[in-house]
Structure 1
Amino acid sequence: MKYKKINYKIEKNEIEKVVNSTENEKHRFILTLLYKLKLSTGMIINLKIKDIRNNIMYCRGRRIYIPDSLMHDFYEHTLNRDKNEYLLKSNRDKKYNIRSIQEIRKKALKKCRLLKKA
């Protein structure tokens, strides 16, 4: 069965609205990575704690500078954890699933009424 591709692009002024639309801290962090740092879902699920050093994230050969305003969130998610662990883990201590991140994004956009049905 084929799924219709959904356009998830949003305007700059709507990013903050989408990020703040969820109560869950981990979901808010995921939306921040997606929209503020412009990371893809594949990049997010494969990020390990060791990939982040001195406000720079190394991801698939790219250097991504992390603003100081977001570093607090990174420290919060990496506190007391091993460097070889994934940055985002599911409730079962495994790496996040791509589908889960897609659902988080979809729910946030629906909540802000930015997701239009095709």
Structure 2
Amino acid sequence: MRESRGSIVMVNSSVLRYPKRACGAYKIAKFALLSLAQSLATELGPQGIRVNSVAPGPMWTDKVKDFIGVACGLARDVAAGGPRRGAADMDVRRLQSPEETTDAVLFLASDPARAVTGHCLVVNCGEYHH
């Protein structure tokens, strides 16, 4: 990895910045992952290796569709409105797709992000601002 001046991108969670009830242990584990990424950025940076993380919010997947449907009292009807119906309070009025989260990971691993290390990029369509 030293020869290629590589990059490590860890996948974290938006629970870091937007806590949910009953997620205490999960949040602690994700803060440990954030701390690991930042520590590795400091330790590996002199060798040309960058380390970052991505903290995605809820993604528009079948599991989330079902959860939003139940949480909003919409049951299976949520599918009729798509991701916008369950994300009315988000800035862009939708949930990101898994592919959009992947794009953020690929960006952090790419040359255009060669000066970025020790960062946690929140990908959440404006669910909250960091």
TM-score (norm 2): 0.23
Tell me: higher relative CO, structure 1 or 2? Use CA pairs within 8 A at least 6 residues apart: 2
Please report the TM-score for the alignment, with normalisation by the length of structure 1: 0.25
Structure showing greater Rg: 2
